[in-house]
């Protein structure tokens, strides 16, 4: 209860505050009345306490300030806080700033609680910093030592992990003192690096049960690593990466180049970072695809448990999956498949479906008139419709000839247009074992590639039905190159293709016209699955059989991960929302961090290049907090701090926030704040003296004479 008594005619008034609960009063006074004495020294009004009543005497404005201070302190106690001298000082500092936030609200904003200890902001600047982390994707916490930048960021990271807002926490800092010369330090690599990461480990132990931390780190849920190792998600420089124009070595890519993302569309390269020689591993999938990557390279995968519980994909490093790719007889990790890739569209000299039919069952030697063999007249009619000026004439049995309607008139022999086109495409003279899909068709639009595939499957493929199972597609060819081309077409359309060989040697001969015909070449049998919505057949009977059952869902699983020696490596970052790009055999991979809470500590010791590398690691569903003190840069002389430069570059970028903390936010010993202020004044004086052309040295006259020893 509060009351006010006015003195006679003077300016001083009295305000009384009654505290009903004796426990609140005891806490309000503090041990040996230390809090009361601090309040008396702080306020301009006189404060007297008797029993459960506080009497405040002073000017009306001063009394109002005192009354508000006691109100905030009482509310803190009522919310379960035990008052301390530091809490009173911070409350007074916040009241002096006259902001909209009330100290009782700021000092009771709980982030984490563990074993009776609660982590919360202790100053108004810290409250704004914590709020910014909640509201923005990237937050820079810039301020002097002791302002809780890293500690609060760590608390928010653990809070987000426990709330399942992120799947992992990444903690990193630049080991500037070690630089690239770790060799002279004793111990293993981890022992050499640990001192630079110790503050992060210590903060973790304050917030999590110590026994759970090794388990979380072993599972990759928490990763603590120097910045130089953070960027090590790399592939060998000669690893192919798919671009809208075809394959290019990853080592040839530059910032701004386009690569193909998981949606099949172009996405620009944001960063290219050479990694030097690293140990690499060969990751192989169950359909025979494979690629090389380092142990820290990232993969988006889903496990059977993820699928059964409807959970999203997770991001794992190569090394986390080694020796763990199966659970019993079941593949553990499923990789995403690329959507239908859109290469640069280009004109082609022959209808793609007609080309597919001729590659399947056409005679392309060009030594005679081009011919086609089929037991389905429907295909002969479709071929004729797709080739203007060509008559597909039935010769007998399954044989058809492709006659030029304009040929031989007036006694002049005109070359068959199909023959001319086959020569142009390099297919003239091809036989069953040497056929291939020309590049103009392989690296073309999805519509062109699908039409070629449909022609091949209508002629030499078909649906395979099994009771109780979805329909797969089978295709057979004697050409190893055509086998690889069909696999490429299938994978580029979002499907999977397995193949096995059927050796010619020892096989029972076939029969033609009642006589045996031996097999002269190995055959390759492909089993294909295409995604829903991609129709593999145009031929009516095959299409009906396929549609009656459906093709199921194509899936690609990790089969094995094996060491593959060492290689010169490089990593890239791309602009795709999911951070994915396509590498060897249409394998989808990425180099950034999805669904992670990433903290970069001591960021003043990053170079501009390192800062850009780190920020472009941001993945879908991730959050980044960067902390540092721009007055304590340990970089070699002449090197610009990436933290200083990034403020100029990203200052006006949406969803990026710069939280500036100051000496008023220091929560260590009170002398720390005074030391910070003293250094700030010294630096300001020295800068001002430097601008005037005078060197400012403590204890030395401006004229450059002897030190001034006067006190």
pLDDT computed for residue 33 by the predictor: 83
Mean pLDDT, to the nearest integer, of 25-42?
A: 83
pLDDT higher for 212 or 10?
212
CB count in 10 Å sphere of residue 345: 13
511 close to 505: Cβ distance less than 8 angstroms = no
pLDDT computed for residue 468 by the predictor: 79
Give the pLDDT confidence of 170-185 residue by residue, as tens digits: 888 886 544 444 444 4
pLDDT computed for residue 230 by the predictor: 58
pLDDT computed for residue 184 by the predictor: 45
Mean pLDDT, to the nearest integer, of 442-470?
A: 93
Query: Where do the structural domains in the chain lie, given as residue ranges?
Result: 2-108, 124-229+595-665, 234-337+557-590, 352-554, 673-711
* Mean pLDDT, the chain, whole residue set: 84
- Give residues with Cβ within 8 angstroms of 642, minimum separation 6: 603, 606, 607, 608, 609, 610, 611, 612
**Is residue 594 very low, low, confident or very high in pLDDT (cuts 50, 70, 90)?**
low
Long-range contacts formed by 628-633: CB under 8 A, 24+ apart: 628/140, 628/141, 628/142, 628/149, 628/601, 628/602, 628/603, 628/604, 629/142, 629/143, 629/144, 629/145, 629/604, 630/142, 630/604, 631/144, 631/679, 631/680, 631/683, 632/145, 632/604, 633/604, 633/605
pLDDT computed for residue 180 by the predictor: 42
Residue with the two structure tokens 């990751």: 283
Q: Is the pLDDT of residue 558 over 90?
A: yes
Q: Is the pLDDT of residue 5 over 60?
A: no
pLDDT higher for 655 or 106?
655
The Cα 171–Cα 594 span in angstroms is 14
Q: 3-class SS at 391? A: strand
28 close to 85: Cβ distance less than 8 angstroms = no
457 close to 359: Cβ distance less than 8 angstroms = no
* Helix or strand run (H / E) with residue 199: helix 189-207
Domain 2-108 has what CATH class? alpha beta
pLDDT computed for residue 118 by the predictor: 79
- The whole-angstrom distance between residue 296's C-alpha and the CA centroid of its chain comes to 13
Pairing status of strand 371-373 against strand 362-363: antiparallel
* Helix or strand run (H / E) with residue 611: helix 608-615
Give the pLDDT confidence of 411-432 residue by residue, as tens digits: 556 789 999 999 999 999 999 9
Mean pLDDT, to the nearest integer, of 193-216?
A: 76
The Cα 192–Cα 201 span in angstroms is 15
pLDDT computed for residue 409 by the predictor: 58
pLDDT computed for residue 224 by the predictor: 77
Give the pLDDT confidence of 357-378 residue by residue, as tens digits: 999 999 999 888 899 999 999 9
As given in the structure block, the two tokens for residue 556 are 């690609």
The Cα 587–Cα 283 span in angstroms is 10
As given in the structure block, the two tokens for residue 414 are 């005109």
Same fold, 2-108 and 234-337+557-590: no
585 close to 289: Cβ distance less than 8 angstroms = yes
614 close to 606: Cβ distance less than 8 angstroms = yes
Residue with the two structure tokens 């996405």: 267
CB count in 10 Å sphere of residue 22: 10
As given in the structure block, the two tokens for residue 657 are 């926030």
35 close to 69: Cβ distance less than 8 angstroms = no
- Give residues with Cβ within 8 angstroms of 567, minimum separation 6: 236, 237, 238, 277, 278, 280, 292
pLDDT computed for residue 410 by the predictor: 55
Give the pLDDT confidence of 522-554 residue by residue, as tens digits: 999 999 999 999 999 999 999 999 999 888 899
pLDDT higher for 466 or 627?
627
150 close to 172: Cβ distance less than 8 angstroms = no
Mean pLDDT, to the nearest integer, of 270-283?
A: 88
Residue with the two structure tokens 């002096």: 96
150 close to 200: Cβ distance less than 8 angstroms = yes
DSSP, res 299: E
pLDDT computed for residue 710 by the predictor: 36
Give the pLDDT confidence of 66-92 residue by residue, as tens digits: 888 888 888 888 777 777 777 787 788
Q: What is the DSSP string of 75-126?
A: HHHHTT----HHHHHHHHHHHHHT-SS-HHHHTT---EEETTEEE---SHHH
pLDDT computed for residue 591 by the predictor: 65
- The whole-angstrom distance between residue 50's C-alpha and the CA centroid of its chain comes to 63
Q: Is the pLDDT of residue 401 over 70?
A: yes
DSSP, res 269: E
- Least Cα distance to 454 among 393, 373, 542, 394 occurs for 542
CA distances for 70 relative to 40, 98, 110, angstroms = 11, 16, 22
Find the range with the poorest average confidence among 22-36, 419-433, 464-478, 675-689: 675-689
The Cα 493–Cα 342 span in angstroms is 9
The Cα 78–Cα 76 span in angstroms is 5
Find the range with the poorest average confidence among 109-113, 126-130, 319-323: 109-113
Mean pLDDT, to the nearest integer, of 285-307?
A: 90
pLDDT computed for residue 705 by the predictor: 40
Q: 3-class SS at 663? A: helix
pLDDT computed for residue 670 by the predictor: 63
Residue with the two structure tokens 């280009």: 346
Give the pLDDT confidence of 224-259 residue by residue, as tens digits: 776 755 555 789 999 999 999 999 999 999 989 999
The Cα 442–Cα 343 span in angstroms is 9
The Cα 603–Cα 611 span in angstroms is 8
Q: Is the pLDDT of residue 339 over 80?
A: yes
- The whole-angstrom distance between residue 362's C-alpha and the CA centroid of its chain comes to 48
Find out if CATH 3.40.50.300 is the number for domain 124-229+595-665.
yes
Give whichever of 63-77, 320-334, 554-568 has the largest mean pLDDT: 554-568
Provide the total of helices (H) and of strands (E) in the chain, helices listed first: 22, 36
Find out if CATH 3.40.50.1000 is the number for domain 234-337+557-590.
no
CB count in 10 Å sphere of residue 483: 21
Angle made by CA atoms 627, 628, 630, in degrees to the nearest 5: 150
| Sign of the alpha-carbon torsion through 414, 418, 422, 424 | positive
Q: What is the DSSP string of 646-661?
A: HHHHHTT-TTEEEEE-
Residue with the two structure tokens 């869902």: 553
Q: What is the DSSP string of 12-80?
A: -EEEEEE---HHHHHHHH-GGGHHHHHHHHH-SSEEEEETTEEEEEE-HHHHHHHHHHHHHHHHHHHTT
pLDDT computed for residue 703 by the predictor: 40
Name the CATH topology of 352-554.
Answer: Endonuclease I-creI (3.10.28)
Q: What is the DSSP string of 483-504?
A: HHHHHHHHHHTT-EEEEEEE-S
**Is residue 702 very low, low, confident or very high in pLDDT (cuts 50, 70, 90)?**
very low
Residue 704 dihedral angles phi and psi, to the nearest 5°: 90, 15
193 close to 226: Cβ distance less than 8 angstroms = yes
Residue 612 dihedral angles phi and psi, to the nearest 5°: -65, -45
- For residues 74-91, one letter each, b for 16 or more C-beta atoms within 10 angstroms of the residue's C-beta and e for the rest, the string is bbbbeeebebeeebbebb
């Amino acid at each position: 209860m509060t009351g006010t008594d006015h003195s006679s005619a003077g300016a001083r008034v009295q305000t009384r505050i009654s505290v009903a609960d004796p426990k609140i009063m005891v806490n309000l006074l503090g041990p040996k009345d230390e809090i009361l004495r601090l309040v008396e020294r702080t306020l301009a009004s006189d404060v007297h306490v008797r029993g459960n009543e506080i009497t405040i005497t002073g000017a009306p404005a001063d009394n109002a300030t005192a009354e508000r201070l006691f109100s905030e302190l009482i509310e803190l106690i009522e919310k379960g806080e035990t008052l301390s001298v530091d809490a009173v000082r911070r409350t007074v500092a916040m009241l002096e700033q006259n902001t909209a936030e009330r100290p009782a609200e700021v000092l009771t904003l709980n982030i984490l609680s563990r074993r009776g200890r609660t982590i919360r902001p202790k100053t108004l600047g810290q409250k704004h910093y914590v709020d910014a982390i909640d509201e923005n994707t990237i937050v820079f916490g810039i301020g002097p030592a002791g302002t809780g930048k890293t500690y609060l960021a760590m608390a928010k990271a653990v809070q987000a992990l426990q709330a399942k807002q992120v799947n992992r926490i990444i903690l990193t800092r630049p080991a500037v003192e070690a630089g690239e010369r770790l060799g002279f330090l004793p111990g293993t690599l981890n022992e050499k690096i640990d001192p630079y990461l110790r503050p992060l480990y210590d903060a973790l132990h304050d917030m999590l049960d110590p026994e759970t931390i090794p388990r979380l780190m072993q599972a990759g849920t928490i990763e603590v690593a120097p910045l130089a190792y953070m960027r090590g998600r790399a592939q060998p420089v000669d690893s192919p990466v798919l671009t809208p124009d075809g394959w290019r070595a990853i080592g040839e890519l530059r910032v701004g180049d386009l690569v193909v993302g998981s949606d099949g569309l172009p996405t620009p390269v944001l960063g290219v970072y050479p990694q030097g020689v690293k140990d690499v591993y060969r990751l192989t999938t169950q359909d025979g695809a494979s690629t090389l990557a380092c142990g820290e390279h990232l993969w988006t995968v889903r496990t059977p448990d993820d699928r059964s519980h409807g959970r999203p994909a997770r991001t794992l490093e190569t090394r986390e999956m080694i020796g763990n790719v199966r659970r019993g007889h079941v593949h553990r990790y499923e990789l995403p498949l690329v959507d239908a890739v859109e290469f640069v569209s280009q004109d082609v000299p022959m209808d793609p479906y007609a080309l597919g039919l001729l590659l399947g069952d056409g005679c392309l030697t060009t030594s005679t008139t081009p011919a086609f063999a089929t037991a389905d007249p429907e295909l002969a009619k479709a071929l004729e419709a797709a080739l203007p000026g060509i008559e597909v004439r039935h010769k007998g049995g399954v044989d058809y000839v492709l006659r030029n309607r304009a040929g031989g008139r007036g006694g002049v022999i005109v070359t068959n247009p199909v023959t001319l086109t086959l020569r142009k495409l390099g297919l003239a003279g091809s036989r069953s074992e040497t056929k291939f899909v020309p590049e103009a068709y392989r690296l073309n639009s999805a519509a062109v590639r699908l039409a070629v595939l449909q022609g091949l499957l209508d002629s030499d493929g078909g649906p395979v039905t099994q009771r109780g199972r979805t329909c797969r597609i089978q295709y057979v060819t004697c050409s190893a190159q055509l086998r690889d081309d069909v696999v490429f077409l299938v994978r580029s359309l979002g499907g999977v293709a397995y193949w096995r060989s059927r050796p010619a040697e020892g096989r029972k001969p076939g029969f033609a016209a009642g006589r045996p015909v031996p097999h002269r070449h190995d055959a390759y049998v492909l089993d294909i699955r295409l995604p829903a919505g991609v129709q593999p057949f145009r031929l009516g009977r095959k299409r009906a059989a396929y549609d009656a059952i459906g093709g199921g869902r194509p899936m690609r699983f990790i089969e094995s991960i094996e060491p593959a020696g060492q290689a010169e490596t490089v990593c890239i970052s791309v602009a795709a929302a999911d951070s994915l790009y396509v590498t060897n055999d249409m394998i989808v991979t990425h180099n950034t961090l999805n669904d992670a809470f990433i903290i970069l500590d001591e960021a003043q010791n990053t170079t501009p290049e390192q800062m850009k590398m780190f920020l472009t690691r941001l993945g879908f569903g991730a959050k980044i907090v960067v902390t540092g003190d721009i007055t304590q840069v340990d970089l070699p002389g002449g090197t610009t701090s990436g933290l200083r430069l990034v403020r100029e570059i990203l200052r006006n970028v949406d969803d990026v926030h710069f939280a500036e903390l100051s000496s008023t936010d220091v929560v260590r010993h009170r002398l720390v704040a005074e030391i910070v202020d003293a250094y700030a004044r010294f630096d300001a004086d020295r800068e001002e003296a430097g601008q005037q052309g005078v060197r400012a040295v403590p204890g030395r006259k401006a004229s450059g004479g002897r030190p001034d020893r006067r006190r």
